[in-house]
Amino acid sequence: MSNTNTTSNPDQTSARPQQPRVLACVTCQQRKIKCDRRFPCAHCTKTGSQCIPAALIQKPRRKRFAERELLDKIRHYEDLLRENDIAFEPIHGREALSRTTTQLRGTVRVKQEPVSHEPRDVFAVINGHSPTSRPDSDSPNGTEPDDGTDVINEAMMKTTLDDIYPHDDPLVFGERIADIDLAALHPGSTQIFKLWQIYQENVDPLLKVTHGPSMQARIVDAIGELSTIDSTLEALLFSIYCMAVISLDELACFAAFGASQADLLRGYQFGCQQALLKCGVFKSSDREGLTALFLYLISARPDTDPRTLFLMLGMAVRLAQRIGIHDESSNIKCNVLEAEMRRRLWWALVIFDNRISEMSASKTTMLLPLWDCKIPSNVGDIELREDMRTAPPERATPTEAWFVVVRAEIDDYLRNCSHQLDFINPALKAIARDVRHSPDPGLSEVTDLTTYIEDKFLKHCNPENPFQLMTLCFARDHLVKERLLEHFITAMGTPPILPSETQGTAIIQLALQILDLDTTLMASPLTKGYHWMLRYHFPFPAYIRIVQDLKRQPEHPLADRCWKAMDANYQARFVRSQEAGIILKLISKSLLEAWRARVQASRVSGEGWVVPEFVRDVQVQVERWSLLSNRANAQGPNGGGFLAQYGGNATMAPSFGPLVGGVGGNGNGDGNGAGGTHGPWSADPTAGFHLHPPSTNTTTTTSKGGFAESLVSMIEIEQIDWEAIDWNEMERSW
């Protein structure tokens, strides 16, 4: 029996053809995981997936760019036109024209590369990889994959920075209290659910930055283990508490939780600050951490100077840009739910940032044509799930995202409008998209936008539904303000164009529409839960326009309607306020001068007049300011100011006089009528200021009296010293 020689012949081995390289299976390639290249592979066997060898799949043939020949022909024709000095509009604008001109100066034509809208990855460039490749992915060219030891990526950079700068938290919220028990700052489980319900009813419909179904499930799981809850989720919970509290008025807050709004907000905001520091929100790239910060900043708005809040929002915007939610190429890499939540958060953030920018008189805003995040989809939360691979179809009728979709549609149009960019940076008009919907070039941008929004969205709104009423009136109010702004821009042209009588009436009607829409939202019980947003959208431009016109034309055909509209809006906004604050201070002089012109015109015509209640309130406020000023500056016999001259007794101080038969006076200028300084309209600053006394009688008179000469002199609107404004006082009213 002979032994079998198992040694292979070297010549035969060298002559044997090389085995083809085995690629990873299709499933492992799609999921970007390591494959053992056995079929079925270990991963597919473990997950029960179908294991398909990559060699069996024929790669689709790359489609040829169909427009290439057409573009080449167009460029050739454009070159001929340039060579013959014939004027024309290039297909790719001025930038492409200058680039092509530079290329034509040389002897060799440079071939244009296709433009990619996805930014390059600096780490991929450093490591020598393409933006779409991964160091650990299978290479189709037969080379062995890198082991990753020489690769520098973003995660490594983040870890290194965390090691170098472990304690930079005090920069924003101060030092984090390490031994604080945040679980003790949470309300009870019953109150947590109550706050969550209030948030869902009052806040979530207007922002949609949290996913209701998944968030509620996480809250249920977290209630039983608040001491071990994830720090980011904890920050988000505290921010939800804060938003729920500010969406209630003082009475509702005390009735629901047995504590004042200020006390609850102070505790929850402190807990939110500590939780944000704990999760390292400013160093992380977590969308939920950014959401918690965003909600916290909104809750801090009423008591924060908008100039300070604007800077804080700048940090939030930078954090959002670092996460990449402004970039659609980053969003589409996420699953359907995450991508949609990123879009919703970005739009909510930039819209709020834009409003605070307006309130702080800043020209800086993120509503610019510099990013490409898509508008949120008109789908409900229940239609979005984490395991979805395909986005649900958008609906044409109202959903729970209706409000945020309509606002985003409006602002997406406006950020590309020339009349908006004129206020921010006119140079950006060169890169703005053409967003017009109508083919009529003579139609103004705002008219085109209004027609589109009305036809696509607002005609579907039911005014009897609180959410849809809010969407309807808020959107129309926004559109009318833009139309009013368009008129202002036309009047400020070079040379200025004075509006005709018909145009002037149309402008007043627009201002009246703004007041009426705002009054509807503020007075309706259906939208009471949305007042937290309406409070920082005061119709200031409408007041200014109406008052200025009434000063010039006191007997305008729409004068009576204007006074009634301002009075109704004032009652809806300030009827429960302790003071009207800075809003009255800004418009008081022009308002009282407009009313004086009205009374003088009525005297000439022999007609009587009815003093609107809000005009009486403005005079009382002006008298109060005058008393405070005199008490602080004037030196009486006792050195105690104005009231000290009368023994400190406000009832002995002289009246500043009725407002032409005004503040409850009898029209004789002696201040002895009902509601004079001896009645409930006492202007004693030590007794507090009450806008609405028990008596609400309105005086109809043909008084001979005039404006009291001792009224405090107020500056004109155009001469306002914006830097000297007490913004904290303003925020309580604006």
Segment 273-331, tens digit of pLDDT: 999 999 999 988 999 999 999 999 999 999 899 999 999 999 999 999 999 999 999 99
Segment among 103-107, 147-151, 349-353 with least mean pLDDT: 103-107
Position 675 pLDDT exceeds 70: no
Q: Where are the alpha helices (DSSP H) in 279-432?
A: 287-300, 306-323, 328-331, 336-359, 402-414, 418-424
Percent over 90 (pLDDT), the chain: 44
Question: Pick from 207, 517, 226, 471: which is nearest to 347 by CA?
Answer: 207
Q: What is the pLDDT of residues 330-348, one digit of tens each?
A: 999 999 999 999 999 999 9
C-alpha span between 487 and 66 (Å, rounded): 46
Residue 365 lies in a domain: yes
Segment among 97-111, 168-182, 261-275 with least mean pLDDT: 97-111
Band of residue 118 on the pLDDT scale cut at 50, 70, 90: low
203 contact partners, CB below 8 Å, separation of at least 6: 240, 243, 244, 247, 532
Band of residue 251 on the pLDDT scale cut at 50, 70, 90: very high
Q: What is the pLDDT of residues 174-198, one digit of tens each?
A: 778 877 899 999 999 999 999 999 9
Residue 457 lies in a domain: no
Largest CA distance in the chain: 142
Position 695 pLDDT exceeds 70: no
The residue among 282 and 104 whose pLDDT is bigger is 282
C-alpha span between 169 and 70 (Å, rounded): 57
Q: What pLDDT score does 580 carry? A: 52
The residue among 5 and 175 whose pLDDT is bigger is 175
The residue among 584 and 301 whose pLDDT is bigger is 301
4 contact partners, CB below 8 Å, separation of at least 6: none
Give the Cα-Cα-Cα angle 701, 705, 707 (nearest 5 degrees).
115
**What's the average model confidence in pLDDT over 223-245?**
95
Position 615 pLDDT exceeds 50: yes
C-alpha span between 426 and 702 (Å, rounded): 53
SS3 610: strand
Q: What pLDDT score does 665 carry? A: 36
Q: What pLDDT score does 104 carry? A: 38
Which residue(s) pair with 700 in the sheet?
Answer: 610
Band of residue 29 on the pLDDT scale cut at 50, 70, 90: confident
Q: What pLDDT score does 709 carry? A: 30
**Domains: count for the chain:** 2
Band of residue 503 on the pLDDT scale cut at 50, 70, 90: confident
Segment among 402-406, 593-597, 698-702 with least mean pLDDT: 698-702
**What's the average model confidence in pLDDT over 487-511?**
78
Of the residues 329, 346, 381, the one at which a domain ends: 381
524: region left, alpha or beta (phi > 0 left; psi from -120 to 50 alpha): beta
Question: Pick from 61, 255, 293: which is nearest to 172 by CA?
Answer: 293
Residue 54 lies in a domain: no
C-alpha span between 296 and 306 (Å, rounded): 14
**What's the average model confidence in pLDDT over 511-528?**
96
Segment among 46-55, 402-411, 703-712 with least mean pLDDT: 703-712
Residue 33 lies in a domain: no
**What's the average model confidence in pLDDT over 75-90?**
79
Domain region containing 626: 577-731
Residue 57 lies in a domain: no
Band of residue 450 on the pLDDT scale cut at 50, 70, 90: very high
Position 103 pLDDT exceeds 60: no
C-beta contacts of 14-17 below 8 A and 24+ residues apart:
none
Burial of 277 (0-12, 13-18, 19+ CB in 10 A): buried
Q: What pLDDT score does 522 carry? A: 95
Per-residue DSSP letter, 377: P
Question: Pick from 589, 553, 585, 550: which is nearest to 566 by CA?
Answer: 550
Of the residues 381, 400, 420, the one at which a domain ends: 381
**What's the average model confidence in pLDDT over 112-120?**
52
Residue 437 lies in a domain: no
Q: What pLDDT score does 638 carry? A: 46
- Mean pLDDT across the chain: 77
Contact assessment for residue 699 and residue 608, using Cβ atoms and an 8 Å cutoff:
no
Q: Tokens 């290479």 belong to which residue?
A: 139
Q: Per this entry, what is the length of the chain?
A: 734
The residue among 604 and 209 whose pLDDT is bigger is 209
Position 500 pLDDT exceeds 90: no
**This model's pTM is above 0.85:** no
Residue 360 lies in a domain: yes
Residue 701 lies in a domain: yes
The residue among 496 and 387 whose pLDDT is bigger is 387
Band of residue 710 on the pLDDT scale cut at 50, 70, 90: very low
Segment among 165-169, 356-360, 523-527, 633-637 with least mean pLDDT: 633-637
Q: What is the pLDDT of residues 630-659, one digit of tens each?
A: 776 654 444 443 333 333 333 333 333 333
Of the residues 342, 361, 381, the one at which a domain ends: 381
C-alpha span between 240 and 193 (Å, rounded): 11
